[in-house]
Amino acid sequence: MKTRIMRTLRALAVAAAWLVGSTWALAGAAPDIDLPCQPLPMGFDSEKLAWHAHPLSKFKRDTRYARVSNEGRAALLAEADGSASLFVASPKPVAMLATPPWLAWQWKVQDLVPGADNRDKRREDAPARLVLAFDGDMKKLPAKEQRKFKLAKALLGVSPPYAVLMYIWSEQWPVGTVIPSAHSSRVQMVVASSGKEGLGQWQHLQRHLAQDYRQAFGEAPGALLAVAVMTDTDNTGQKARAWYANLELTCQP
């Protein structure tokens, strides 16, 4: 039991760790304020976002990230070798906006991660992930979850986000599948690309962020706190290579 609790706390702590030092306000409005939707580009050459590498743990090797040009795109290259770390957007202060409901991005994966399975915590790796952290009312959570959040804050000195939604490239599971994290119910994964189809080619993806969040967590999303990408192979010990480009929150598909 203690081991399971510590794993859960570790997952919450990791979710909080990559928010440390950010402004904690990417986009989003208080629920009682009716503001017009405005698109928010989140490209790696964006002047509004300070993208930077962020380690997950001092006990893990870091994935290598580099800004590159790939087929005419301002892209981010991620190279993992038994490693896991994030590339995070720490936004400059921006005017409060209504969170746009659509998310668009491009990614390209060279190969799948042999042996990876996102339902198994011992093999929970992905060649490409887009990670989004949301605010919310902690008081709505069950008492047990609230205690975990308080303990995670006491250990780390900062509160974990209310919820983390990830878009992943999965080998086994079809597009649209929602995969709960093996470590915390406050982390949910949505399969955005699946299998070998499209490997080595740029994929142009759009997801209805609000609908995916509601499907994963059973409620409307709160303010979006931060965004990151991650290519990780720390559990399988394999290698992976991926490119990311042209992230944008949009008002229409």
| Tens-digit pLDDT profile for residues 229-251 | 999 999 999 999 999 999 998 88
CA distance 146 to 140: 9
CA distance 92 to 41: 13
Residue 113 tokens, joined: 């991660």
Phi then psi dihedrals of residue 139, to 5 deg: -65, -15
Q: What is the pLDDT of residues 191-238, one digit of tens each?
A: 999 999 999 999 999 999 999 999 999 999 988 888 899 999 999 999
**Which residue numbers in the chain have pLDDT < 50?**
1-2, 18-33, 92-97
- The residues facing 51 across adjacent strands are 89
Task: Assign domain 25-140+163-250 to a CATH class.
Answer: mainly beta
